[in-house]
Amino acid sequence: MNHKFITSVVFGLLWSLSMLAQTGVVKGRVIDAQSDEDIPFANVALLKNGEIFTGTVTDGKGHFKLDNVSTGTYSLSVSFLGYDAKEINEIEITEVERVADLKSVALSAASVSIEGVDVMATAQTVTSKIDRKSYRAEDFATASGGTAVDVLDKLPAVSVDGDGMVSVRGTSDFLVYINGKPTQTSASDILSQIPAAQIKNVEIITVPGARYDAQGKGGIINITTQKGAFDGLSVVASGMIGGTPWTNKDDVYSRQALNNNRYNTSVSLMYNKDKLSVSGALTMQSRNNKGIGIIDPYIYQHPDESVSGYPGSYYVLDGEGSRPKWYTNMMANAGLNYQVSDNAELAASYQYSKRTSGRTANYVYKAYFSDSPDGEPYDGTLQQIYNPNDIHRDGWFSNLSVDYIQNIGDQSKLSTSFIYETSNLEQTIDNKEYAYDGDRYYYDDTPDFHSFQSDDTPLDAYRFVLDYQHTFDNGNRLNTGVQPQWIRLQGEFAYDTIIGNGYWGDPSIESYDNSIDLKRDVYSAYVDYSGKTGKLNYVLGLRAEYMDQLMNVSSTEYFEYVYGYFSEIGGGRDFNQKDFQQRKFDLFPTLHVKYDINDANSLSLAASRRINRPPAKDMAPFLYRRHQEIYEMGDPLLEPEYTLNAELNYTRRFGKNNITLTGFYRGVDNAIYRVNRVAYDMGNPGGVLLRSYTNAGNQTALGAEMGMNFDLINKVKVFVGGALYDFQVIADDELLGESRDSRSTNWNIKSNASWLITAPLKLTVDYSIKSASVTPQGESLQFEALNAAINYTPEKLRGWTFSARMLDVLGTNQAGGYTAAYEGEQILLRRGYVYDYEGQIVEFGISYSFNNKKQKSQRKHISDDYF
């Protein structure tokens, strides 16, 4: 279709809609009731039928102005920490009277602190806007000792697997924004480095508008961190320890400590004075999880391909042993906001984090040939192997951003932003094999086989944003801008083994060493138009992106050998090709519409086209030996996936309670799948599983989500969310065999209840359950967990809070499933696995907050203009 025609139609529609809406203004000034002094940065919320319609904060002189207010009757809520909130009712905007000037709104000093009952008991866990859902992190008290991953695991649309991989509605391809700024580091890597204690809100944007990057099938997760909220200096410090000391022990084979020990400590400083806000924080965390792993892979010995001498049989590898995992994390950040003038603001922030994580599989395998997967070993084929497999990941991440915003008159605004991100991730895989001869310590022996793999992937990314915003006389708004970004990633991979004489450097596999150089430039431009006409709110947008990508591979020596197992991938692949270039131009239209049926009911519709450019880890042709029986290699020929996301939301409000129903659809074209093949002449006597990636079909997810906020009884606040959807995998039958058309009905339920037992004592309980789900070549198992926390804030110890938590109360923290490779109806390989992480973990926490002046609302951050 002609791109010029599409663009003309969209802009014509935007211009037509701009003429339809007629809206009003609510304005005024907030002052101290006793001194008549201005109160800057107070919270001002305009409510309709008990729900927030719009809001702002007062400026440095206490003034506020709310634009784009449609006709109707409203109430205004004004609050400021240290003052009693005030509500003004019966504010009317009519066709004749479009301006409601409230003059002065006087607030009286509060007689109770912010820690009082009313404030804690009435705030909603989740709120909805036209394009997102926002969740209050502090309501999920059982996650407060962890990271952003732990907070996300409480949300209905989000799932976290046993290895900490985060997915949104079944896909792990999404973007992470921090305070409205995008990051380029792997989503799960960056989320695992953000302490939960520093998170204020989590926003799930499953259908982003044109202003945001089109990358990511699952949309955007925006993490809003805590910012300065005090006039003068404030200090917040906290600490936590926990574990299960009554179950601690050492692994008998490696003498590795097996425990659930964990701790974290953090301190944050915030200073606000006149036009300047400065903040900084330092957090250190450590967490161990002990567990047991059970795996039962088997490989069919194909009569035409097997070299084992047992054609038509099965090579069985039954393994079991300890599987502990751990991480340590340090994060530091600093920020500055300066009000240059009444019309200009400068902001800068810097964040640095360092993380070490890993897991060990201390498995003892029984390896043998048999006439069936469950049969007895053939005589003379049983071999027992002790196989410790260690994976260590070390990495650091830093992000520097500078923003400047300039108001141009009363109706226009120009914003600029520069972001520099740099990171380095290193990984090692240490794999040993010993002949098993009983439960004893093995590390003082020489292994029969020893391989060591390492990779190093430094990344540098630069991003510039220029955004222009204009508000028309009728209240409608036009946004347009450009967002170029440049990504540079270099990766090196080394593979070493011990040869027979005990020295490193097996010449038969030296060619596996490799490196890549990836350059990905994306040039973007966008326009969106938002407005109101009667009860209808809308945002229409169009985004254009041009990608110029080049990946260089230093070595192709083993390409023909490995990719020969995947003859269907890539057709006439050139095994000597070292440069892989892609250039693509794409258009991404977006639509958001919200209609207020009446005072208590509203409908909203959203749709957008998105793209998922494959990450470097799936493209890098590095041959990893992940486990005793698994090799994995990326494919530089991978192409982007394209996604259509659509949602229909219905919200029903009744008093302080609400319920939201969301119907959603996600269709993925050119989907990337992990493809399994059996290599009979690699690794084990009976062969190994060899994995790669390719674009091989489509995926669809069609279903519904529900979210409810309600007060069950006095002082008990409940949030319940859930999802039910049909997930289908439709792929190339030559690549994925009999699993090419997999389908399942997936569901999950997540709930969180807070009971304010007395003014200083609060109990929080959360429960989640997730169904089993199909994968392109297998299935994942059902999961459930129950957690509880209690917080005590003594009235006589102002600023102190004490907490206790129990995680996995039911001891059900278990992950599992299987993956398989097929040829017609014959299963060539099936690998089942169960990871059981022993629960009933207890944590104890303490925090102290201090400020030397009265509290006040935080300044509006520059990223609020984007989020």
752 is a domain residue: yes
* Calpha distance 323→627 (Å, rounded): 13
> Which tokens belong to 793?
């804030």
The mean pLDDT values, 10 residues at a time, for the chain of 867 residues are: 46 44 80 74 82 79 85 87 79 86 82 35 68 84 80 81 74 80 75 81 88 85 72 83 94 94 91 85 92 93 88 94 94 90 90 93 95 92 93 93 90 92 93 92 87 92 94 88 95 77 52 90 96 89 97 90 73 85 96 89 93 91 82 90 94 82 93 84 81 86 89 84 88 57 84 88 92 80 91 88 92 88 82 87 91 45 37
* Calpha distance 828→313 (Å, rounded): 11
For 36, the domain range is 1-111
| The pLDDT of residue 627 | 74
- 238 lies in the same domain as 94: no
Give CB contacts under 8 A, 24+ apart, made by 311-316: 313/369, 313/370, 313/371, 313/378, 314/369, 314/370, 314/371, 314/372, 314/373, 314/375, 315/367, 315/368, 315/369, 315/684, 315/685, 315/686, 315/687, 316/366, 316/367, 316/368, 316/369, 316/370, 316/373, 316/377
Residue keyed to tokens 């207890």: 842
| The pLDDT of residue 9 | 44
91 strand-pairing partners: 74
- 103 lies in the same domain as 248: no
Last residue of a domain, one of 64, 95, 111: 111
| The pLDDT of residue 135 | 86
12 is a domain residue: yes
H or E stretch including 191? helix 187-191
Global pTM value:
0.78
Cα-trace Rg, the chain = 29
379 is a domain residue: yes
Helix, strand or coil for residue 714? coil
132 is a domain residue: no
CATH code for the domain in which residue 7 is found: 2.60.40.10
150 is a domain residue: no
| Residue 316: closest CA among 690, 829, 677 | 829
| Residue 478: closest CA among 9, 53, 13 | 13
Last residue of a domain, one of 77, 111, 145: 111
| Residue 562: closest CA among 492, 634, 480, 628 | 634
| The pLDDT of residue 826 | 84
- 107 lies in the same domain as 236: no
How many beta carbons lie within 10 A of that of residue 166, not counting itself? 21
* Calpha distance 339→350 (Å, rounded): 19
699 is a domain residue: yes
207 is a domain residue: no
| The pLDDT of residue 865 | 38
Burial environment of residue 251 by CB neighbours within 10 A (0 to 12, 13 to 18, 19 or more) = middle
721 is a domain residue: yes
- 319 lies in the same domain as 464: yes
Helix, strand or coil for residue 437? coil
Write the DSSP assignment of 572-636 as a string of letters: S--TT--EEEEEEEEEEEEEEEEEE-SSSEEEEEEEEEEEEPPPHHHH----EEEETTEEE---T
* Calpha distance 408→350 (Å, rounded): 28
- Contact partners, residue 585, CB within 8 Å, separation at least 6: 544, 545, 546, 547
| The pLDDT of residue 579 | 96
Write the DSSP assignment of 784-808 as a string of letters: EEEEEEEEE--TTSTTEEEEEEEES
Residue-wise over 180-201: b if at least 16 C-beta within 10 A, else e?
A: bbbbbbbbbbbbbbbbbbbbbb
| Residue 381: closest CA among 314, 479, 331 | 314
- How far CA 45 is from CA of 52, 58, 77, in Å, comes to 6, 11, 5
Residue keyed to tokens 């967490």: 287
| The pLDDT of residue 867 | 41
Whether the CB-CB separation of 133 and 126 falls below 8 Å is answered with yes
The tally of domains found in the chain comes to 2
* Calpha distance 491→553 (Å, rounded): 10
Residue keyed to tokens 């006793």: 34
CATH code for the domain in which residue 733 is found: 2.40.170.20
Whether the CB-CB separation of 677 and 821 falls below 8 Å is answered with yes
- How far CA 778 is from CA of 135, 699, 829, in Å, comes to 33, 15, 11
Whether the CB-CB separation of 173 and 617 falls below 8 Å is answered with no
709 backbone dihedrals φ, ψ, rounded to 5°: -115, 125
- How far CA 312 is from CA of 299, 306, 565, 689, 861, in Å, comes to 10, 9, 20, 17, 67
- Contact partners, residue 481, CB within 8 Å, separation at least 6: 211, 465, 466, 467, 468, 525, 526
Burial environment of residue 527 by CB neighbours within 10 A (0 to 12, 13 to 18, 19 or more) = buried
Whether the CB-CB separation of 76 and 85 falls below 8 Å is answered with no
Residue keyed to tokens 């809001």: 55
Last residue of a domain, one of 79, 111, 143: 111
* Calpha distance 673→679 (Å, rounded): 19
Starting at the edge strand found earlier in the chain, the sheet holding 672-679 runs 624-627, 630-632, 688-695, 672-679
